[in-house]
Amino acid sequence: MTDRTRRDIPDPETLLTGLLACDGPGPRLSEIGRVAEIGDGIAIVAGLERALADEVLHFASGVRGIVLDVEPGRLGVVLLGASDRVTVGEVVQRSRKVASMPVGPGLLGRVVDALGLPLDGGGAPDAIASRPVEAEAPAILDRLPVTRPLQTGIKVIDAAVPIGLGQRELLIGDRRTGKTSLGVGAILNQRDTGVICIYCAIGQRGDAVARVIDTIRAGGMMDTTLVIAAGDEEAAGLAYLAPYAAMTVAEYFAGQARDVLVVLDDLTHHARSYRELSLLLRRPPGREAFPGDIFFVHARLLERGGQFAPKAGGGSITVLPVVETQAGNLSAYIPTNLISITDGQIYLSPRLVRKNLFPAVDLGVSVSRVGGKAQSPAFRAVAGNLRVTLSQFEELEEFGRFGTRLDDVTRARLARGAAIRGALRQGERDPMTALEQLAVLVVAVEGLFDGMDEATLFDAMDGLRGAMREGPGEIAGRLSGEAPLSEADRSHILDLARGLLEPEGGRGA
């Protein structure tokens, strides 16, 4: 071919520009790749040189995937569907879009997967927009201090480990210690608060998720709650995306100056799903075979929560991530990572479960790094010495087991500590109002429950709760603000309790 002939051939970019400038339906440019390898939940795709990280790819079989690894001549793709539907040599096309989640008020009351597809038998959710599941966390200057309390309805948490709107509080413990119950109980207590709730089930069994949905519906919270489920039978890619999708929806409502509560149940399964995908993609394993970026995976997720300034929407995202331990090992890799990321942890102890003490919250290990700043003055006044009293009681209880003769003062302290510990017990998914909690705690601290057996104590607390619901509405009105518990209010509660307890044996303070 002569030089003259070469000059007459236009370059590809010039040819493409001319074709696109033509009037009418012209040719469409599409990039096509093929599946080179297929694994359990992943695919290796060749031929899509211009694909971007986190881009959604469409397989000819109808399965979608997300680009996780970008290497020369090779893409590591996480499948969002059954891998047995994909075959080697199958055609793959780019979508030129990143993984997104539909957002809008129409999602409330629905059960969807990590892509926003319905799982409750209804039609597609009525979304107003679609947002990428990956987003940068708000900057420090776009945040405000956490000062408003989030009432969970659980005495031991609201009194001793308070949670604020915009806080990230870890729920940690072994299997079957009540982590999910605490998260669901916190959701049920938001019935009259206007807080929007999102429950994200990651790697949970279908029957367990169904029970949670039934509980939320029975509690009257389904209309203001979104459930995102990625079951253990689903693709690992959906489990990996689910918490990011939940935070994306939460960010939409927070941008409308709403308060949102997100329960991520649980991040142990999320970490295992990411480890599975990373090992299949031949990423180098690190400690406990997790990839080196597992800390960043969870940090960039949880940092999206917080209390935001008006210029960033003015709302808040409170996150309750759940993580499972084995044999109470808090020093395992994933638990220590999450403890360092969050603003505190609530530890549920198997030792307390064996003693039938529910909620099994171990106050010696549990902590809220926001502390009393997110607690009303009334709670601070009543529960300020609760931790010290219980810790001293447990030490005396251990000492008393040796059969040592105890003096009257020590026996009285043991009786008071046992009464306070019993007063902190609470039924599963039975949230209490702030006034009911305060009344029970005031009566327990003042000694009116001392010496009661378990059945009598529960009956006394139920009677006191009923009296608080029917009685002093003016106290509830004052406590709803920033007013402390006055001596007159305290005396009123104690007099009411004495009137209820007199038929039970004439106990007094």
Query: Catalytic residues, which ones?
Result: 369
Give the phi and the psi of residue 366 in degrees, each rounded to 5: -75, 145
CA 182/CA 184 separation, integer angstroms: 6
- CA 67 distance to own-chain centroid: 26
Q: What is the biggest distance separating any 2 CA atoms in the chain, rounded to whole angstroms? A: 115
CA 57/CA 96 separation, integer angstroms: 8
CA 215/CA 193 separation, integer angstroms: 18
Q: For the chain, give the number of residues.
A: 509
DSSP letter assigned to residue 137 = P
CB 431 within 8 A of CB 185: yes
Cβ burial 429-452 (10 Å sphere, 16+ → b, else e): bebbbbbbbbbbbbbbbbbbbbeb
Burial class (CB in 10 A: 0-12, 13-18, 19+), 489: buried
480-486 own/partner pairs: CB under 8 Å, 24+ apart = 480/434, 482/376, 482/377, 483/377, 483/378, 484/377, 484/378, 484/380, 484/381, 485/377, 485/378, 485/381, 485/382, 485/438, 485/442
Residue 485 CB contacts under 8 Å (≥ 6 apart), including other chains: 377, 378, 381, 382, 438, 442, 479
55-59 and 42-46 strand pairing: unpaired
